[in-house]
């Protein structure tokens, strides 16, 4: 069990709290319960489940390995919180060591989140000492919704600064969507398992121009493929000959929709590679996605966007009928 420390701005740990490493799939129901309870309390739209976590945790990579990077908080054998860590090379020259977590609402402001924060930071700083990268500046990173004042206060008290805002946007109705023609010379083809990896690599390449970063490994691709909500028939990709020009990775999460009582799809990733930008491709792919999702029985659609996206994505989404539904903050603490 980990020694529980107290960072600035947090409460003392409650009696009986213990921190331990992730112990395998037996922990997944408790972890899912905590994450979903926190999302309910904060009004966040996303939910998870055991199958989703199995896909995420089942493919260890250099960026994220659940056995190394997940810490469970327990009181009397009950999971009351979870912390997780990842290492990402960002597009602006940082080796960002991300630290996030969730706490069961009944245990908030009782020191659980403070203890997990300290453990996340301690483990990251220990890895920096043994795995420095001279070509990238070291930084800590985190993420939280604007509806979680406790997380905001803890991050600010420990030297993190707001780096970026992100929005979840919702198109509340799909009744009036119409198909928009593709630019000349491009065509949409069904995405088979053989083509899926090429679409993934094209997505990675397109987001190299965007702020931040994500796990670009083949292990991350396997997590995508094994996600219970993954359905290749919903992926819409445009091809120029053999080249993937752009695409939309659409997702219908039946478990989340059932839990929330909605019929909503997510445009989980919308991307256009640089040579095919400024030609109306993204608008055409999004419109085609919305038509396809309506035909699959969905009544609304959502996506995420960087509020400062330099390509004008926010304006495009607003023009296509999406409205801001939830706001999140990306945090950073650059180290010297």
Per-residue pLDDT tens digits for 149-208: 999 999 999 999 999 999 999 999 999 999 899 999 999 999 999 999 999 999 999 999
Residue with tokens 């213990």: 18
Q: Is the pLDDT of residue 97 over 80?
A: yes
Q: Is the pLDDT of residue 5 over 80?
A: no
Q: What angle do CA 164, 43, 103 make, to 5 degrees?
A: 85
Q: What's the rounded Cα separation, in Å, for the pair 319 and 239?
A: 25
User: What is the pLDDT of the chain when averaged over all its residues?
Assistant: 93
Q: What Å distances lie between residue 294 and 51, 176, 291, CA to CA?
A: 26, 10, 5
Residue with tokens 């083949």: 218
- Measure the CA dihedral 286/227/299/273, to 10°: -10
Return the half-sphere exposure (C-beta side, CA atoms, 13 A cut-off) of residue 63. Answer: 19
Q: What's the rounded Cα separation, in Å, for the pair 148 and 133?
A: 33
Find out whether 168 and 45 touch, Cβ atoms under 8 Å. Answer: yes
* H or E segment and range at residue 115: helix 112-130
Nearest Cα to Cα of residue 82 among 105, 58, 100, 95: 100
Q: Which residues contact 134 (CB under 8 A, 6 or more apart)?
A: none
User: By mean pLDDT, which of 7-11, 120-124, 283-287 is the weakest?
Assistant: 7-11
- Measure the CA dihedral 329/332/333/335, to 10°: 180
Q: How confident is the model at residue 132 (pLDDT cuts 50, 70, 90)?
A: low
Give Cα 111 distance to the centre of its chain: 25
Find out whether 59 and 218 touch, Cβ atoms under 8 Å. Answer: no
Q: Is the pLDDT of residue 11 over 90?
A: no
Find out whether 116 and 103 touch, Cβ atoms under 8 Å. Answer: yes
Per-residue pLDDT tens digits for 310-332: 778 899 999 999 999 999 999 99
**Threshold 0.75, pTM exceeds:** yes
Instruction: Kindly state the tokens that stand for 49.
Output: 């489940």
Q: What's the rounded Cα separation, in Å, for the pair 266 and 172?
A: 12
Q: What's the rounded Cα separation, in Å, for the pair 47 and 32?
A: 8
pLDDT score at 135: 79
Q: How confident is the model at residue 222 (pLDDT cuts 50, 70, 90)?
A: very high
Q: How confident is the model at residue 308 (pLDDT cuts 50, 70, 90)?
A: confident
Q: Is the pLDDT of residue 129 over 90?
A: no
pLDDT score at 309: 78
Q: Is the pLDDT of residue 98 over 80?
A: yes
Q: What's the rounded Cα separation, in Å, for the pair 233 and 249?
A: 10
């Amino acid at each position: 069990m980990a020694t529980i420390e107290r960072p600035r701005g947090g409460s003392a740990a409650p009696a009986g709290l213990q921190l331990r490493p992730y112990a395998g799939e037996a922990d997944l129901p408790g972890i899912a319960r905590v994450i979903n309870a926190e999302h309910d309390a904060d009004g966040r739209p996303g939910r998870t489940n055991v199958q989703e976590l199995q896909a995420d945790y089942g493919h260890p990579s250099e960026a994220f390995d659940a056995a190394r990077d997940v810490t469970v908080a327990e009181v009397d054998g009950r999971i009351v919180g979870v912390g997780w860590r990842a290492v990402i090379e960002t597009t602006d020259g940082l080796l960002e060591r991300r630290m996030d977590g969730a706490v069961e609402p009944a245990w908030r402001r009782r020191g659980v989140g403070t203890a997990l924060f300290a453990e996340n930071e301690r483990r990251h700083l220990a890895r920096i000492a043994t795995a420095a990268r001279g070509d990238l500046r070291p930084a800590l990173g985190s993420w939280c919704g604007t509806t979680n004042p406790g997380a905001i206060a803890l991050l600010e008290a420990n030297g993190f600064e707001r780096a970026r805002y992100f929005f979840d946007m919702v198109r509340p109705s799909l009744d009036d969507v119409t198909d928009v023609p593709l630019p000349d010379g491009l065509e949409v083809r069904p995405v088979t398992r053989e083509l899926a990896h090429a679409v993934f690599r094209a997505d990675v390449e397109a987001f190299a121009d965007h702020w931040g970063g994500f796990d670009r490994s083949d292990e991350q691709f396997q997590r995508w493929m094994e996600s219970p909500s993954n359905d290749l028939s919903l992926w819409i990709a445009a091809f120029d000959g053999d080249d993937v020009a752009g695409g939309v990775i659409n997702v219908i999460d039946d478990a989340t929709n059932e839990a929330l009582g909605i019929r909503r799809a997510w445009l989980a990733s919308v991307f256009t590679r640089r040579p095919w930008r400024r030609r109306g491709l993204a608008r055409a792919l999004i419109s085609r996605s919305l038509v396809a999702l309506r035909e699959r029985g969905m009544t609304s659609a959502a996506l995420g966007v960087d509020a400062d996206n330099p390509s004008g994505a926010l304006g495009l989404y607003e023009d296509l009928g999406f409205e801001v539904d939830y706001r999140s903050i990306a945090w950073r603490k650059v180290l010297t």
